[in-house]
Structure 1
Amino acid sequence: MKKYMLLVMLLGACTTLHRTPVKDTTLPSIHSLTLLHKYIVPYNMPFNGTTVGGLSGIDYDSARKVYYLICDDRSERQAARFYTIQIPESNYDRDSIRFSRVTYLKTPNGNVYPSAKALAPDPEAMRYNPHTGRLVWSSEGERIISEQANIINDPGIYDIDTIGRYLDSYPLPAQFHMHATENGPRRNGVFEGLGFTPNGRHMFVSLEEPRYEDGPRADLRDTTAYTRIIKYDLRTRQPIAQYAYKLEPVAHPSIPGNAFRVNGISDILVLSETQLLVMERSYSTGVKSNTIRVFKVDLQHATDIKAVNSLRENPHFLPAQKSLLLNFDDLDTFVDNVEGMTFGPILPNGHRSLIFVVDNNFDKNEETQFYIFEVEQ
């Protein structure tokens, strides 16, 4: 696959966004994906007083033909924020991505998030809800255990308006509170994906890695790493179900062999009440490319495990069923830390597009990449 290195063109500021008509994006019969184009954003590209990077989630607003990109900067470089961008719908060789706006996330008291580790969020996922005109974003919280002091912040899921103002939060099931002991979620392995059913009645939120009680992290040849997907009723705003999801083994040995490696859910797309696309991201130290695998997932026969505190101690459950749709290893290109995906516009041939974005971790050795795929049904 040919690799395209295009500079990103900038536009002026956009106007405030409002509620938009709802369009059905249900795609229950996806058969394959074809890569159409790849963009690379220049490293540390400046935009409106911010540094572009750390792009961890993406969602498409079909009425305005813009995308919302959440940045996982923990207010260390600039205040926690998201971007509004445009991606060409054709003429990929000629046109490039255009950043049009940066919006700062606000705390309940109306201020931007501070840089203090005890107070800063860890933004990871964002979706636009066309039924409400609101955005929903998630934070992984924090869990730092040290002799000096512990920092324990719960993860969270928040409603905001399109200018970043805090509106509300969603109740957190008891299993997902952070602890100083090895209970609950692991650090940096919490809410990486979320999405709405097309009818706007439910929201699914995915946990990146297994909770301590649910078993070990994914590893080479490991088959016991189960993480969770939470289902919310958007009318009551309450969590109503949870489902177990078995992670694939880590794709490649790390170099050296005892160095860091991980596999987990980096994003989800909701197709229907029971069908999802789930993206797993496998990283191994010393291996240049990440292994990104996208699965079609069926929850129809999965056990509701919301009342089960430990999957390791209560192994009698049916996990979500999954089948591989795409492995980025099959692409002839360098694949970095892909963390976000969204359905894009309808292509001229009538097929829908699927867009992926990469979090470069603000590292000069990594790339902020965008991948544009054609969805074949």
Structure 2
Amino acid sequence: MQRRTLALLVTPPLLLALGACSTAESATRMDDLAVTHIDTMQVADGLSPFGPALGGISGIDYDEDTRSYVAVSDDRSEKGPARSYAMTLGLGPDGAFAADAPTFTEMTTLLAADGQPYPKKGVDPESIRRVPGSTDIVYTSEGDASKLLAPFVRRATVDGTLVRDYPVPAHYTPVAGPDGAPVSGVRNNLAFEGVTFSVDGSRIVALTENSLLQDGSIATSATGTDSRVLMFDNASGDVVDEFVYRVDAISGDYPDVVDSTGWTLKADRGATEILAVDDDEYLVIERGAVPGKGNEVQIFWTTTAGATPVTGREKLDGTETPMPKRLLFDFVDTGANPDNVEGITWGPTLDDGTRTLVLCADDNFNPDGGQHTMFHVLAVR
């Protein structure tokens, strides 16, 4: 696909207008809008604002009323308790960062069903959203397929106490074959990487990073991968829809690289977050890691309009029409280093009416490997 800066959906009137259009009309109208990079903040390594090391920032959500953010760490209760942070980013009137680090105002320990902090490696938080009209949050866990630990979508109070689980269909649960290795369900570390609420707040939409084991392969240089988009009714918790989102293939055939710690790095690609922009339209981040080169990060517009519903389908058969998508923004066009981008949220509206998007990058607690906690601001004009 040609790499170019295209358009995003901006103001509520335009969102409503696009919602009434066909997929082709929506895509055409997007060409009149532009997404540009404003600024990047690289947070100093080694911060620990509330004791545990800061890192693993994998999901972020903005509250326009308080002009604050909630972010989740993907620490598997190893360097500290599974946790989220409340913070401000201090954007200036032009959307640029006015400080060199967020102001962290609170850390919340996420609690398991027994009311206690999650045990070590008992959870893998990846995405977080505030519940519309509530102080509650919804967050996802990828589980741990290697240990047959199921992924989940979970609602909690502002203090981290479990409110409810949303029942994930059985075909997402890792199932072992005769040798003990998983043969179906989510792949290890490639499960629920993203979550968003529909614009009207009635649905929770979760996204897997790569395909389920029974659905096909992970992304390679030869082929993409079929992520699943799973939708719950926010009130009842019932699954109401399920679709396929096709992640692009890895951008090239890259050799493995062994880093300074002896870890073997392989090229990969996956969908790391989803954000609602209209009734059936979303933004999806696709992030690729290229050994020796860094990260490739794009934002795609996509829609469920025209896609095949696969609700309850245990295994895809290849005849499904995935969600149509279109490239909106590519970091390669900016010259900025995106690093390991895993989260996206709408940010504040600037004084001139420009909408912003705020992205976060996960350092994997690996500053020695050149990864850092970062935040990016994009303008939507």
TM > 0.5: yes
Partner of 1:155: 151
In structure 1, give the amino acid aligned to 2:118. Answer: Y
Partner of 2:217: 216
**Correspondence 1:187-266 to 2 at 5 A:** 187-223=188-224, 225-256=225-256, 260-266=266-272
Instruction: Determine the C-alpha separation between the residues in 1 that align with 2:128 and 2:230.
Output: 16
Q: How many pairs are equivalent?
A: 341
Give TM-score scaled by structure 1 length. 0.86
Let me know the Cα RMSD of the aligned residues.
1.9
Asked whether the 8 Å contact 2:290–2:296 carries over to 1, the reply is no
Aligned match of 1:140 in 139, 142, 162? 142
SS of the counterpart of 1:51? Answer: coil
SS of the counterpart of 1:302? Answer: coil
Partner of 1:301: 306
Q: 1:68 to 1:292 in 2, by over 3 A?
A: same
SS of the counterpart of 1:168? Answer: strand
Structure 2: gaps spanning 5 or more residues: 1-10, 19-28, 177-181, 258-263
Partner of 2:37: 35
Partner of 1:350: 353
Instruction: Determine the C-alpha separation between the residues in 2 that align with 1:363 and 1:351.
Output: 35
Aligned match of 1:179 in 169, 175, 178? 175
Structure 1 position 279 matched with structure 2 position 285: yes
Asked whether the 8 Å contact 2:267–2:290 carries over to 1, the reply is yes
Q: 1:372 to 1:207 in 2, by over 3 A?
A: same
Q: 1:281 to 1:337 in 2, by over 3 A?
A: same
Instruction: Determine the C-alpha separation between the residues in 2 that align with 1:291 and 1:195.
Output: 23
Q: Which has the higher helix share?
A: 2
Instruction: Determine the C-alpha separation between the residues in 2 that align with 1:360 and 1:193.
Output: 17
Partner of 1:269: 275
Asked whether the 8 Å contact 1:24–1:199 carries over to 2, the reply is no
**Correspondence 1:303-318 to 2 at 5 A:** 303-311=308-316, 314-318=317-321
In structure 1, give the amino acid aligned to 2:153. Answer: I
Moved more, 128-137 or 252-261: 252-261
Partner of 2:8: none
Partner of 1:111: 116
Structure 1 position 102 matched with structure 2 position 107: yes
**CA deviation vs aligned residue, 1:50-102 (integer Å, no higher than 9, x gap):** 21110000000111111001000111110000111101231636434211111
Asked whether the 8 Å contact 1:255–1:286 carries over to 2, the reply is no
In structure 2, give the amino acid aligned to 1:328. Answer: F
Give 1:26 deviation, angstroms. 8.3
**CA deviation vs aligned residue, 1:255-291 (integer Å, no higher than 9, x gap):** 338962211110000112210001111112232x211
SS of the counterpart of 2:214? Answer: helix
Instruction: Determine the C-alpha separation between the residues in 2 that align with 1:363 and 1:231.
Output: 33
Aligned match of 2:337 in 310, 334, 338? 334
In structure 2, give the amino acid aligned to 1:102. Answer: M
Structure 1: gaps spanning 5 or more residues: 1-22, 145-150
Asked whether the 8 Å contact 1:204–1:231 carries over to 2, the reply is yes
Q: 1:220 to 1:132 in 2, by over 3 A?
A: same
Instruction: Determine the C-alpha separation between the residues in 2 that align with 1:197 and 1:24.
Output: 14
Asked whether the 8 Å contact 2:169–2:312 carries over to 1, the reply is no
Give TM-score scaled by structure 2 length. 0.85
Give 1:235 deviation, angstroms. 2.2
Q: 1:94 to 1:67 in 2, by over 3 A?
A: closer
Instruction: Determine the C-alpha separation between the residues in 2 that align with 1:25 and 1:161.
Output: 33
Give 1:310 deviation, angstroms. 2.1
Moved more, 69-78 or 125-134: 125-134
Instruction: Determine the C-alpha separation between the residues in 2 that align with 1:98 and 1:353.
Output: 19
